[in-house]
């Protein structure tokens, strides 16, 4: 199930199940989006990206969906594994922010139950 912690929402899933992590972005002019995975004590690791002229993109075991109408982004992880446990952040590239700055969402902690 999903719960909201002090600062970070948490999603708990059973190993082997599919995970869906959601993100609402704020700027309708944002044209590029990235999902990052961050393990404890480490820097963010690139997972997958999508440009605003697309609504779906697939990678290995991951799919990103973009709904520009409601400014919503989701990350789907198929057959979730214990190694997927981490905090996941969406990031948006806002035009005019300068130098390709990224603005990060609040993050979701994914816990995989063996």
Q: Which of 22, 27, 49, 65 binds another protein (CB under 8 A)?
A: 49
If one asks whether residue 44 binds another protein (CB under 8 A), the answer comes out as: yes
What would the two tokens of residue 42 be?
């480490």
Number of neighbours of residue 52 by Cβ within 10 angstroms: 16
CB 67 to another protein: min, Å: 19
User: Do you know the residue count of the chain?
Assistant: 114
If one asks whether residue 15 binds another protein (CB under 8 A), the answer comes out as: no
Asked if 106 and 8 count as a contact pair (C-beta separation under 8 A), the reply is yes
If one asks whether residue 114 binds another protein (CB under 8 A), the answer comes out as: no
Pick out residues in 75-104 that bind another protein (CB under 8 A).
Answer: 89, 93, 98-104
- Taking Cα atoms as reference points, which of 95, 102, 82 lies closest to residue 33? 102
What would the two tokens of residue 84 be?
């997927």
**Site residues (vs another protein, CB under 8 A):** 5-8, 31-32, 34, 36, 41-46, 49, 51, 89, 93, 98-107
């Amino acid at each position: 199930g999903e719960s909201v912690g002090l600062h970070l929402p948490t999603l708990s899933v059973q190993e082997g199940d599919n995970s869906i992590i959601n993100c609402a972005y704020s700027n309708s002019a944002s044209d590029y989006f990235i999902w990052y995975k961050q393990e404890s004590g480490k820097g963010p690791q690139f997972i997958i990206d999508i440009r605003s002229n697309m609504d779906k993109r697939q990678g290995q075991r991951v799919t990103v969906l973009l709904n520009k109408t409601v400014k919503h982004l989701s990350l789907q992880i198929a057959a979730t594994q214990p190694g997927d446990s981490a905090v996941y952040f969406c990031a948006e590239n806002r035009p005019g922010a300068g130098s390709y700055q990224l603005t990060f969402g609040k993050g979701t902690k994914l816990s995989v139950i063996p």
